[in-house]
Amino acid sequence: MPSQQPFFQSRFQKAEVDSVLWQEREGTLTERPNQRTFAFLKPDTVKNRLVGEVLSRLEQKGFTFKELRLHQITHKEAESLYSVHKGKPFFQELVDHVTSGPVVLIVLQGPNAVETLRKVIGATNPLTAEPGTIRGDLSVSITANVIHASDSAENAKKESAIFSLDTS
């Protein structure tokens, strides 16, 4: 029987490792099952009639829309939203762009909403955004990159509050 001991021990250790790997892989999907986040579709998305395409992709990914609102962002709202970029060369371009026409404000809910949404939309620069992502498929420039999405739950709360939306 001593020869079976290492076999059972290694099987037990393997099962333990498999369990840890499964938790890392699958467990993260249920860590925050009903997390909310904030996003908005930029004026170029509305102008180019891509709103339905983007919303459809988000819905297919499993997001639930808690709030959707057509809105004209004011300069004050835009400056508050992008205050982290104040003083950078692209700040005014961002403000001018998001105030150039109506946007669609969105509060979404889903498992790990912040992280999942960031992956679905892709990198800020459409040249480096993966094909299959919203920005990779639909964006034409860094500024006119279809969608803005909060990069953390904390920022989702701050950004949505600018527009009197609730992500809690």
Tell me: do 21 and 40 sit in the same domain: no
| Same domain, yes or no: 19 and 102 | no
Residue ranges in the chain assigned as alpha helix (H): 4-26, 43-47, 51-60, 75-81, 91-98, 113-121, 134-138, 153-162
Same domain for 14 and 92? no
Residues with active-site annotation: 148
* Residue 168, domain member (yes or no): no
What's the pTM?
A: 0.80
Using DSSP, state whether 110 is helix, strand or coil.
strand
42-101: pLDDT as tens digits? 999 999 999 999 999 999 999 999 999 999 999 999 999 999 999 999 999 999 999 999
- Give per-residue pLDDT as tens, 120-131: 999 999 999 999
| Residues 21 and 36 both lie in one domain | no
Task: State the CATH number of the domain containing residue 77.
Answer: 3.30.70.141
Range(s) of the domain holding residue 129: 32-162
Q: Residue 115 is encoded by which pair of tokens? A: 């992280």
Give buried/exposed letters for 63-90 (b at 16+ CB in 10 A, else e).
beeebeeeeebeeebbbbbbeeeeeeee
How many domains does one find in the chain? 2
